Structure 1
Amino acid sequence: MRALTAAALIALAATPALAEEVGRVGVDWTGNDIVIEAIEDPKVQGVTCHVSYFDRSIFDRLKQGNWFEDPSNASIACRQTGPITLGDIARGPKGEKVFSESRSLIFKSLRVTRIYDEDHQTLIYLTHANQVVEGSAKMSISTVPLYGAK
């Protein structure tokens, strides 16, 4: 039983972060919204990212077609929200996925990737759409300096 519990805890720690909706702003009369979510980095204590993205209404989906997909546009801002403690993070130039959320039925997701710039002691957070076909060039980055982080 202990081995099963330990395995479950390890699997939970390895999963990407969960987002918490902290704001929603209506942008038109059809019900389209801009959603703002808070994402705490699961491997870097003391860093929280806020991601904003467009959420299409049912009326907009009926009018525009393309029922199963939201736009790729997103913005990100990450800040130190407590003492920073680096966990076991990826240190290579490709970084590590922190968060992923579906933006279509199966082919597109919104992702947050963390890249560690060791030379400049900075964490770089990139938000972008990941698509099976025709990747999007729409992206946003935010940086968090590691002044004396552990």
Structure 2
Amino acid sequence: MKTLLKCAFAATVGFLLAGCGDDVGKVSLGLFTTKDVIIDAKHDPKIPGVTCHISRIEANLDFADPSDMGISCRQTGPINAADLAKIDLGKHGEVIFTESLSILFKSLKVRRIYDAQNQTLLYLSYSTKETNGSHKHALSTVPLYGSAAWVDPALSAGTKAN
């Protein structure tokens, strides 16, 4: 009985510790390559109801990882007006996540920008180093429609007219 309890405890602790990181998945690109696709989950620090999944290439034997990446952000919890009050509403938004991709200067950044006209959060992931004449980037959006932060345009237009 004690052995069974110890095994159950060890399995539970291992499971809980595995959930602490943001590493969601890792896919090998083939038998004869040292490159893998890494999938991370990142939570917006000021809007906890948004989770972004970022996929990128990890080259284990290179000094720098490739610049290509993908991003998909979704509402995974409540978003309210108090959350929006905490964010930078300017056209440049704010960087919410940075990760180094090389020993020197290349990094992956995720920037949140608020599109007030369409009531949508934009999440732009991009590489800070130019590759083949281009800065690699990807975009994902989280519309606020259906959340507590969404304001009916007809109602807001009516209050502006008064």
TM-score, normalized by the shorter chain, greater than 0.5 = yes
Partner of 1:127: 125
Letter in 1 for 2:125: T
Distance 1:132 1:99 in 2: 19
Q: Does the CA-based 8 Å contact 1:72-1:136 persist in structure 2?
A: no
Pairing partner for 1:110 from 80, 104, 108? 108
Partner of 1:101: 99
Partner of 1:149: 148
CA separation of 1:135 and 1:109: change in aligned 2, threshold 3 A: farther
> What displacement does 1:130 show?
1.0
Letter in 1 for 2:121: L
Q: Deviations over 1:2-54 (max 9, x none)?
A: xxxxxxxxxxxxxxxxx711000000222310000000000012100000000
SS at match of 2:124: strand
Q: TM-score, normalised by structure 2?
A: 0.71
Gaps of 5+ in 2: 1-20, 150-162
Higher helix share: 2
> What displacement does 1:133 show?
9.8
Letter in 2 for 1:34: V
Higher strand share: 1
Within-5 A mapping of 1:2-13:
none
Runs of 4 or more above 4 Å deviation: 132-135
Partner of 1:84: 79
Pairing partner for 1:50 from 50, 53, 60? 53
Partner of 1:137: 135
Gaps of 5+ in 1: 1-18, 62-67
Q: % of aligned pairs identical? A: 48
Q: Does the CA-based 8 Å contact 2:99-2:108 persist in structure 1?
A: yes
Which has the bigger relative contact order, CA under 8 A and spacing at least 6?
Answer: 1
Q: TM-score, normalised by structure 1?
A: 0.76
Letter in 1 for 2:29: V
